């Protein structure tokens, strides 16, 4: 069983929901990331999504775009992101790590080499924003052969047919993008998310993590009640951006926000 | 090539190129677009309306002009210019925007967005949006906004909102990123008119089909004028819409050579250029697999060209396929050579070409002398140079 499947099973047994932070590897500088990952684990997160910086992040809003730009200014790359994941894994064997990024760095590395490098780094899942299942079967097969979960996005306008397609090709969890738009945009419409989740549940048994628009403990709690996990990205990266000269402060604020979310989410069913 | 050319396949692949590499949110609107496009492609009413617009609004057919003086001067092939510069709004871009706008109207979309480099596609989009009374937002890199201010003003006059994109290299690729973000956010009421043969399927095929009128007309006009097919076609290639428009109807005519001219900027060796087919590598950007300007890590490299319309790190996937199969040849022309082409056509024929088209002129100046006077060379004069007057004057030290 993959580390992700085991994690979601463990959470399900204890009636808890996954708290999944997203940070961009190498933002604001490369040495920041591994200690930040460990600190997030201490704050109670279950899975870490690590953004692979890309020069043209078409599906991301300005906050994550700028995170990519800051990381790229430090020559961050897919290879160096994998090195960060590997370093994290040396002292943490239990927290699943998912790489989230765009396809071209993988194309440049080559699919086979990418799958091998990902396995060596003991990365658990790969989410490639611009690789829909139609184009991604080959890559998904290479990853699955190495016990790495290919994770796919679902959107509010995804049809039932597409949900079943993701269910067939994806594994680990499905990432439900809870609003139309780029990362960091707008506000969640809880009623819509709830209705969509019912449709998702009817077509897949995979865990569903919900992201886009989760900003604070209150929304995390509300969203956690609807799915199996909550992804929080832009709200964390905003803390980094607000404290570029004081990274220790950024780290502290991120930890506090995640801890407050953990607390709120765990009090949900109680 | 004996088999009839049928690219792309049903999922938009030109061999390994093309495809539909987009975030999930864009899949439903792209499928909706593809369904509408397939439906209207052969719809007699749609075609009749499009033909009428092309004739009475765009001003088609555009002439195929025999540049006799320039041909004599170069001492080789007979040069014919396909005069897309004479179209309404001054370039070939309107052929496509008229088509896509009709599609948008039939799909009930009320808002149009577009990306633009030189501003020609932005102007052509703002023009059709004004005519149909649709809201129009054009994304343009901040660098391009500065160097193509005349077109920015034209778009605003036409009622469009021009958004200067400040991210990344602030040129065409960043404008495309931003337009995709807008589309993801406003998919319900918005139609994205892509200006070139790039983007996810069906855009490369759809834009080609709307631009193929260039080649269909040129073929007939050449037969009428010379009694036979041309020997060679030359067109500039940024994304590659004017080139594919000219080439496509000739693909099965093996005797017709096809040459796409990329922008070599300061020179291929300097790395400061926009020539992915000449010096790039395959990869995925903006929804399709094609040749790209990218580094070893797959990050997109900033491009350079004197012409904003060619300043793009990718190229239409069909060009990648035509290159790999050898059906078309791709060469490059530097900024300085393009200027030679610009001045040559201006002084020899009294036609001021766009800086983009000047790249094709410059290559024709190399190619024509190697051909015989009984041979025919068609160059796509894809746009007029009015928009470049400020750039040219500045180079000559003149403030307008």
CATH of residue A156: 3.20.20.70
pLDDT at position A66 over 80? yes
Mean pLDDT of chain B: 96
The total number of structural domains in chain A stands at 1
Alpha carbon distance B168, B79 (integer Å): 40
The residue with tokens 């780029």 is: A182
Which one of the listed residues B71, B82, B93, B217 is annotated catalytic?
B93
Can you give the pLDDT at residue A180? 67
Can you give the pLDDT at residue B367? 98
Contacts of A185 in chain B (CB under 8 A): 185
Mean pLDDT computed over B165-191: 90
Can you give the pLDDT at residue A178? 79
pLDDT tens for B59-117 read 999 999 999 999 999 999 999 999 999 999 999 999 999 999 999 999 999 999 999 98
* pLDDT confidence band for B310 (50 / 70 / 90): very high
Distance from CA of A43 to the nearest CA of B (A): 31
| Residue of B188, B281, B297 with shortest CB distance to A77 | B297
Structural tokens at position B291:
């040749």
Residues of A known to be catalytic: 49, 60
Enumerate residues 140 to 159 of chain A having a beta carbon within 8 A of any beta carbon in chain B. 152-159
Can you give the pLDDT at residue B148? 86
A171 touches chain B (CB under 8 A): no
B45 touches chain A (CB under 8 A): no
Can you give the pLDDT at residue A50? 98
- Nearest in space to A208 (alpha carbons), one of A163, A176, A160: A176
Q: Which of A30, A53, A157, A183 to mutate to test the interface with B (most CBs of B within 10 A)?
A: A157
Expressed in angstroms, the distance from the first to the final Cα of chain A is: 30
Nearest residue of B to residue A161, measured between CA atoms: B28
B300 touches chain A (CB under 8 A): yes
Which one of the listed residues B71, B82, B115, B170 is annotated catalytic?
B115
Residue A238's domain comprises 3-266
pLDDT tens for B180-218 read 989 988 988 999 999 999 999 999 999 999 999 999 999
* pLDDT confidence band for A270 (50 / 70 / 90): very low
B281 touches chain A (CB under 8 A): yes
Mean pLDDT of chain A: 94
* Domains within chain B, CATH numbers bracketed: 23-54+93-207 (3.40.50.1100), 60-90+212-395 (3.40.50.1100)
pLDDT at position B340 over 90? yes
Kindly determine whether residue B284 and residue A78, on different chains, have CB atoms separated by under 8 Å. Answer: no
Distance from CA of B187 to the nearest CA of A (A): 8
B22 touches chain A (CB under 8 A): yes
Can you give the pLDDT at residue A187? 63
Q: Is B382 known to be catalytic?
A: yes
pLDDT at position B2 over 80? no
* pLDDT confidence band for B1 (50 / 70 / 90): very low
Alpha carbon distance A30, A50 (integer Å): 12
Sign of the four-CA dihedral B82, B84, B85, B88: positive
**B106 with B40: CB under 8 angstroms?**
yes
Q: Is B170 known to be catalytic?
A: no
Backbone φ and ψ of B25, nearest 5°: -60, -30
Contacts of B292 in chain A (CB under 8 A): 104
Alpha carbon distance A207, A226 (integer Å): 11
Tell me chain B's radius of gyration from C-alpha atoms.
19
**B320 with B14: CB under 8 angstroms?**
yes
């Amino acid at each position: 069983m993959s580390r992700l499947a085991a994690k979601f099973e463990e959470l399900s047994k204890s009636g808890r929901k996954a708290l999944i932070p997203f940070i961009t590897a190498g933002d604001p500088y490369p040495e920041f990331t591994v200690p930040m990952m460990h600190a997030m684990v201490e704050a109670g997160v279950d899975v870490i999504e690590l953004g692979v910086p890309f020069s043209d992040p078409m599906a991301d809003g300005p906050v994550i775009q700028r995170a990519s730009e800051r990381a790229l200014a430090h020559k961050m790359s897919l290879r160096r992101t994998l090195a960060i994941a590997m370093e994290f894994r040396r002292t943490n064997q239990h927290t699943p790590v998912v790489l989230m990024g765009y396809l071209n760095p993988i194309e440049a590395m080559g699919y086979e080499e990418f799958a091998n490098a990902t396995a060596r780094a003991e990365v658990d899942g790969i989410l490639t924003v611009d690789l829909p299942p139609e184009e991604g079967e080959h890559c998904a097969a290479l990853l699955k052969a190495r016990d790495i979960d290919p994770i796919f996005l679902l959107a509010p306008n995804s049809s039932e047919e597409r949900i079943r397609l993701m269910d067939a090709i994806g594994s680990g969890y499905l990432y439900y993008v809870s609003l139309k738009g780029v990362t960091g945009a707008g506000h969640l419409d809880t009623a819509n998310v709830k209705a969509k989740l019912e449709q998702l549940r009817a077509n897949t048994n995979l865990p569903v993590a919900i992201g886009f628009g989760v900003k604070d403990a209150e929304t995390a709690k509300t969203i956690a009640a609807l799915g199996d996990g909550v992804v929080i990205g832009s709200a964390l990266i905003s803390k980094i951006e607000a404290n570029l000269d004081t990274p220790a402060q950024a780290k502290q604020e991120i930890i506090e926000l995640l801890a407050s979310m953990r607390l709120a989410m765990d009090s949900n069913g109680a | 090539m004996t088999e009839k050319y049928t690219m792309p396949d049903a999922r938009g692949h030109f061999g390994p190129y093309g495809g539909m590499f987009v975030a999930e949110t864009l899949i439903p609107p792209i499928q909706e677009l593809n369904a509408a496009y397939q439906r209207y492609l052969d719809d007699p009413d749609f075609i009749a309306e499009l033909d009428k617009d092309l004739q009475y609004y765009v001003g088609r057919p555009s002439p195929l002009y025999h540049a006799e003086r320039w041909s004599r001067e170069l001492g080789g092939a007979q040069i014919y210019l396909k005069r897309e510069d004479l179209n309404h709004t001054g370039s070939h871009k309107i052929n496509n925007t008229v088509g896509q706008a009709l599609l948008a109207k039939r799909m009930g979309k009320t808002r149009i967005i577009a990306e633009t480099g030189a501003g020609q596609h932005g102007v052509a989009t703002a023009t059709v949006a004004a005519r149909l009374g649709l809201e129009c937002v054009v994304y343009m890199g901040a660098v391009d906004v500065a160097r193509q201010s005349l077109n920015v003003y034209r778009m605003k006059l036409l009622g469009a909102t021009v958004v200067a994109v400040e991210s990344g290299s602030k040129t065409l690729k960043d404008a495309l990123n931003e337009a995709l973000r807008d589309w993801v956010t406003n998919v319900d009421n918005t139609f994205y008119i892509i200006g070139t043969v790039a983007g996810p399927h069906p855009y490369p095929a759809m834009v080609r089909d709307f631009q193929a009128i260039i080649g269909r007309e040129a073929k007939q006009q050449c037969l009428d004028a010379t009694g036979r097919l041309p020997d060679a076609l030359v067109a500039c290639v940024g994304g590659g819409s004017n080139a594919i428009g000219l080439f496509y109807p000739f693909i099965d005519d093996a005797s017709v050579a096809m040459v796409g001219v990329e922008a070599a900027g300061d020179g291929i060796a300097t790395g400061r250029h926009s020539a992915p087919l000449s010096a790039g590598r395959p990869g995925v950007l903006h929804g399709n697999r094609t040749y790209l300007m990218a580094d070893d890590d797959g990050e997109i490299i900033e491009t350079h060209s004197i012409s904003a319309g060619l300043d793009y790190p990718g190229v239409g996937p069909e060009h990648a396929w035509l290159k790999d199969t050898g059906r078309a040849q791709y060469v490059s022309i530097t900024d300085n050579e393009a200027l030679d082409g610009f001045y040559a056509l201006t002084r020899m024929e009294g036609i001021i070409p766009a800086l983009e088209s000047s790249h094709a002129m410059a290559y024709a100046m190399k190619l024509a002398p190697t051909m015989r006077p009984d041979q025919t060379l068609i160059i796509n004069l894809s746009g007029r140079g009015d928009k470049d007057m400020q750039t040219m004057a500045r180079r000559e030290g003149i403030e307008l």
